[in-house]
Structure 1
């Protein structure tokens, strides 16, 4: 049984058209596309038996093949990355233990986030899906609040119960806190890391479930699991000195490039 990583990528993003092909410069000044940086992040995870880019766009497919990635072509009807992963799964046969969805806009995802995610789902057979969360420090929380104050949809936050079962995810900053935190101080807010590990049966069922009002309002694919009553495990991960941010808007490019430079990542 294999652990397969699928990187869903679409060209027609409403907030950032062509985002997977956006160029990001690292510490050496070398420019790589977002999709290549995400693929290289996946290549650092020894637990993956296979890595595929799933897309409906020939431009992304050609770029991915050029840097050596395996590509699975999917339809243009997939409404989100999870539906695209479900389509891709149908091309992989039955010998799949777990599918990991590494969003194509998360090039700063450290390998230990993904290793912890795989271990977490294996340790909780009752969970249909698992996703990592990262406790915000004061600097990250301030950045999330700044984005929202400016009207930008930035990172997603998560709320969990005492068993680490996901209660809710939002593009707003939740839970509310009026306190001011030092840059490196821990806060009560969890930043959701846009990566998912699915059991194949749950992933295959996902496109058949009704899109609920919460998913429609927030535009967050994981809420379909919660609205369908499916247990969603949140796995807390540690930054270990690494910065994390996703590329959601064009304004995020200089922020991520600064993080790559600060962490001396090429």
Structure 2
């Protein structure tokens, strides 16, 4: 297989226990979060296979019920990247690229993943890559609203002129000082919770200890940066679609309002 998409999902989320099985209403009726994430992955034309990766029997049962292939993983996995590495080993998969579509991002358009895969194929020197989306004023306000209310929501990213990642944070970076911006001029980039890895990078990741920055921010991708790996930020376009992950119970209404507008 050239490219596989793995969807890591766990039941015991600290912020939102049972999150993968939360039912979201949309224009196509009620479906669980994990099913909507699986359908988003299946829409990617470059994917040779899609697997749900979990350590929880409830998630596995639900996934198999809607037709997904499941890889059972170790419950000791601390994040999605570790779960992907464990799944790759347990299933004896040997793809050229591994894509991690986390199970809380059902609004991820297929072209986000396609452009990520293309970037990895264009530069063999990359260890990993992840999409970033320039915020519009509405999304920036949602970020700021979460922080004002003490909620840990989406993640922002800063990167070099060559798009190599510099840092990711749950804070809104760079600091904007309350300035207002026109659409297309917002200097804040929303990190999209999708990754593409070389199998060698996944293997290395599992051998590295959890770093200080990763622990403080709760962001798995910082382990790559702390260990000097090359992680590229691939800027993608929303094409009129609103992107948001399901991080907290408050996000359900936000996501359902978007799903109900989409046929």
TM-score, with structure 2 as normaliser:
0.97
5 Å-filtered alignment, 1:92-241, equals 92-93=91-92, 95-178=94-177, 179-182=179-182, 184-241=183-240
Which SS does the other structure have where 2:34 is aligned?
Answer: helix
Rounded Cα–Cα distance in structure 2 between residues aligned with 1:52 and 1:86 = 13
Matched, 1:31 2:30: yes
Unaligned 5+ segments in structure 1 are none
Deviations 1:43-64 (CA, angstroms, capped at 9, x unpaired): 1011000000000000000000
Rounded Cα–Cα distance in structure 2 between residues aligned with 1:258 and 1:186 = 26
| Corresponding residue number in structure 1 for 2:45 | 46
Report if the CA contact (8 A) 2:11-2:18 is conserved.
Answer: yes
| Corresponding residue number in structure 2 for 1:247 | 246
Which SS does the other structure have where 2:16 is aligned?
Answer: coil
Rounded Cα–Cα distance in structure 2 between residues aligned with 1:186 and 1:137 = 8
Matched, 1:2 2:6: no
Unaligned 5+ segments in structure 2 are none
| Corresponding residue number in structure 2 for 1:83 | 82
After TM superposition, what 4+ stretches of structure 1 lie above 6 angstroms from structure 2?
A: none
C-alpha displacement at 1:34, in angstroms? 0.2
Deviations 1:155-211 (CA, angstroms, capped at 9, x unpaired): 0000000000000000000001121124x4430000000000000011011111021
Rounded Cα–Cα distance in structure 2 between residues aligned with 1:90 and 1:142 = 41
Rounded Cα–Cα distance in structure 1 between residues aligned with 2:240 and 2:11 = 32
Rounded Cα–Cα distance in structure 1 between residues aligned with 2:111 and 2:54 = 26
Which SS does the other structure have where 1:206 is aligned?
Answer: helix
Rounded Cα–Cα distance in structure 1 between residues aligned with 2:121 and 2:224 = 18
Number of residue equivalences: 262
